[in-house]
Amino acid sequence: MNNSVLKIPFNTAQFVEVFKHYNEAVFPLQIIFVLFGMLAFYFAIKSTFILNKSINIFLPLFGFGWEPFTT
């Protein structure tokens, strides 16, 4: 059995720096998406016909809303 350790091409400081830059780039939208998430959760548990249909508006935002900010 080989007990070799995987060597990553960056150190811990560089790894944390990537998250720091990402969080700074998307900061205002994080708050908006949390609010949208709470609203979508409310729509999901409220269970009326209109609210159940309107949840379909929010789901694509979660899937594709972050995409422009990840590249």
pLDDT tens string 41-71: 887 787 777 766 777 776 776 666 666 665 5
Residue 62 CB contacts under 8 Å (≥ 6 apart), including other chains: 33, 36, 37, 40
Does residue 25 register a pLDDT over 90?
no
**Domain range enclosing 45:** 12-69
Q: With contact defined as beta carbons under 8 Å apart, do 40 and 55 qualify?
A: yes
Does residue 5 fall inside a structural domain? Answer: no
Radius of gyration for the alpha carbons in the chain, expressed in angstroms and rounded: 19
Q: What per-residue confidence (pLDDT) applies to 10? A: 85
pTM of the model: 0.47
Does residue 4 fall inside a structural domain? Answer: no
Does residue 62 fall inside a structural domain? Answer: yes
**Mean pLDDT, residues 27-50:** 79
Residue 1: band (very low, low, confident or very high) from pLDDT cuts 50, 70, 90: low
Does residue 52 fall inside a structural domain? Answer: yes
Does residue 20 fall inside a structural domain? Answer: yes
| Amino acid letter, 49 | F
